[in-house]
Chain A
């Protein structure tokens, strides 16, 4: 009897342990989700008509920045940074729009696959330059942001081009239940398809390892250069998805980069990824993007001057990160 129950009990204890450590590890994300819930309630209070259309609009407007934040998160976890995400998005956006204009729907599929491949190449170029030239990543990617932005203008000097109908349909409307916007489903699928296999693989562990302690990773046999390049390649892939989401949601190509590079850094910080590397995931930054977007929406509802809204958004960013850090410090002490 006792021999049979003992393993069950240890398993139960282990499960409780795992649950406990899981909550602890994801405390930041849980806090963000709580904050998001409060914001939704607040939104409903100030704008009682906020409902299905609001949620759908939120999902579409969030999509590009959410994917950009995921892109930034990967490279920041590896201990780097990529300031060319916005420019890569613009380049992918215009390439896709130019190629798809006036072409068949089937050709659109080939364009999507081709531009995703282009994203991998852009990321590989960024990563290889950072590793091979030994110039600091912030400098390399800032310089490359001009290069990619210039390329985007060479491809398409003024906004134009088009999008395949299926691509636009992919992110508009809802799936089954009207409360489930397609854009949100697409976001979840992309992140699940790219990030979960990486997180479970040895290469994923290597990316965390080089972000946490590069020397220790090297001494453990991790190929540091290759893992850094891989992180940039993944960032390029997410940036390509983000760029395609711009094509899909706007229906055209816009050669001038949006403020995505720096906004993604803000989202990453708010999302619980340490800028020193080695900590966090992609889920937190995506939740952070939703929060940032919802705050903007609320300020529109409250008729706050848009310039003032930007100021408030910045202050909220500092405030949330500060409060979160204080809570963590306090918990570590008590």
Chain B
């Protein structure tokens, strides 16, 4: 044991942590060798984020040991962990919004030259360091955060859902740069829900389930199955069920559209967007980050008003001045960011009751018994684990997202607008949400689903529209909506655009042959507009 311990860069054994009655970690272990990219996998609630917090010193473990380069160490704060050579980058960038980038760097004592170097490597060389963090787009902030971490040359770099909702072109840059760390004396701990990234860039994967390390897998061809098996325990058969429903529900043409957009425009972000959404269908919206999808959903949900264009619900024109108008017209919105949707300190009951009880009438007393029945029914439908229901912030991320959906299901769904509803939640909950969206469609609701995870389109949608630069550039039926086709369309027909998978293949080939000429079999220039 002692021999192998010294070989390891980071070794955590028997880590346990409980919060009240909730056991977050029973016995987790993680061993990271120098020079490897190590994936940390697990469904939400498996204890992944708790383990990360313990390793970075944000939370103290109840038991277990952590050793860095064979030496016992317990970090009491993130700053201490950082000095010990362990730096993490999270999904939410840790930059102070009211300081410029330069001041943010000074705050963390980041050396400027290495920072610029990494920024260049990550494809963000033209960044103005004097701009306020608040004004920099979210995707760029994530890159800045990563460059800042790389600049201080950590022994262990921890990337926690770093690529979630990152546009595909930036994701490939990030993965490429991170992959290059491999083989040096430094290591990367990589946390992601995207199996393809794990398969492409990680050497080994540690899988957590219910607070325990259930296996360490060498990532090779076909090891994804093994990882998924370990993560899920028994349930894996949900996927085909969703696919079967998709096939069955296809073909709602000829019906009267539930929602019609005619030439919607908003400033410079959205140009002349038109589409029809039919009852009984799930319509996918695919776009790289910042192509106008945020503005489109803001308009549809009543948060913003279009500068021109027309919106029709069930054939009659509508104009929304307030989200309440959209809700009254039956258009309800599910956000990706739970913090924007929930009353965190209030109960599950109040969170679910809020929209439908404020919708019916404004002044009367709440019918408590009726409300409880409706809430209980919604909680049961979505299988929400509401044991910690007194305060929503105590629920897991997946359960929180279910609450944001349950509040609309409770009132009966007419048209649901989902903006990346499965962002950063575990596979099991994702499947439940897919099934729910299909069930809603089957029951006659219309669902508009923007997703940053392209494979969701084939799993859930009947067809998809692709937005690029604020315009609808393609409409693709579910049969043709595989990931390469969608990605190509999302890049707006640039046939020379490299897909992440190709980059992966190239990188692998280059590594194998030391100097392999990258020759992607030139992708067919598709013409998605041809089949209208």
Contact = CB atoms under 8 A, between A and B. Distances in A.
A11 to B, nearest CB: 12
Interface string A202-220: 1101101100110111111
A278 interface: yes
Contact of A219 (B340, B345, B368): B340
A134 interface: no
A222 B354 contact: yes
Contact of A208 (B333, B344, B350, B359): B350
Interface in B320-365: 322-324, 327-328, 333, 335, 339-346, 350, 353-355, 357-365
Contact of B366 (A24, A202, A212): A202
A21 interface: yes
Interface residues on B, range: 35 or more
A53 interface: no
B523 interface: no
Interface residues of A, number: 30
A205 B344 contact: no
A24 B20 CA distance: 13
B390 A24 contact: yes
Interface in A107-149: none
A217 B340 contact: no
A223 B340 CA distance: 16
B247 to A, nearest CB: 34
B301 interface: yes
A221 B407 CA distance: 12
B350 A221 contact: no
B346 A212 contact: yes
Nearest to B340: A215
A4 B341 CA distance: 41
B303 interface: yes
Given A221-B358, A222-B354, A213 B303 contact: no
Nearest to A280: B345
B344 A213 contact: yes
B363 A203 contact: yes
A293 interface: no
Nearest to A216: B341
Which applies to chain A's interface (DSSP): helix, strand, loop or mixed? Answer: helix
Contacts of B357: 202, 205
Contacts of B322: 218, 221, 223
A219 B301 contact: yes
B345 A222 contact: no
B297 to A, nearest CB: 11
B355 A220 contact: yes
A279 interface: yes
Contacts of A202: 357-358, 360-364, 366
Given A205-B357, A219-B335, A212 B363 contact: no
Residue among B333, B346, B353 with most chain A CB within 10 A: B346
A275 to B, nearest CB: 13
A314 interface: no
Interface string B353-390: 11101111111111010000000000000000000001
Contacts of A49: none
A200 B371 CA distance: 12
Nearest to B341: A216
Contact of B323 (A203, A220, A279): A220
A217 B354 contact: yes
Interface string B296-312: 00000101000000000
Contact of A209 (B333, B343, B362): B343
A197 B366 CA distance: 10
Interface string A270-307: 00001000110000000000000000000000000000
B303 A219 contact: yes
A114 B264 CA distance: 52
Contacts of A218: 303, 322-323
A237 to B, nearest CB: 16
Contacts of A315: none
Contacts of A331: 20
Contacts of A216: 340-343
Contacts of A213: 339-340, 342-344
A277 B212 CA distance: 38
A237 B358 CA distance: 23
Given A21-B390, A200-B366, A201-B364, A222 B358 contact: yes
Contacts of B344: 212-213
Residue among A206, A219, A220, A274 with most chain B CB within 10 A: A220
A163 B407 CA distance: 52
Nearest to B337: A215
Given A208-B350, A333-B19, A219 B362 contact: no
Nearest to A20: B390
Nearest to A197: B365
Contact of B345 (A201, A206, A212, A220): A212
Contacts of B359: 221
B511 to A, nearest CB: 46
A220 B327 CA distance: 8
Interface in B98-120: none
Nearest to B333: A219
A81 to B, nearest CB: 18
B368 to A, nearest CB: 8
30 contacts: A25-B390, A201-B363, A202-B362, A202-B364, A202-B366, A203-B362, A205-B353, A205-B366, A208-B346, A209-B350, A209-B358, A212-B343, A215-B340, A216-B341, A216-B342, A216-B343, A218-B303, A219-B335, A220-B323, A220-B327, A220-B358, A221-B322, A221-B327, A221-B359, A222-B354, A223-B322, A278-B343, A332-B19, A332-B20, A334-B20
Complex A-B, nearest 9 residue pairs according to Cβ-Cβ distance, in ascending order: A212-B343, A221-B324, A220-B355, A221-B327, A220-B354, A200-B365, A216-B341, A213-B343, A202-B358
Given A202-B364, A213-B340, A219-B335, 6 more contacts: A202-B366, A203-B363, A209-B354, A209-B358, A220-B358, A278-B345
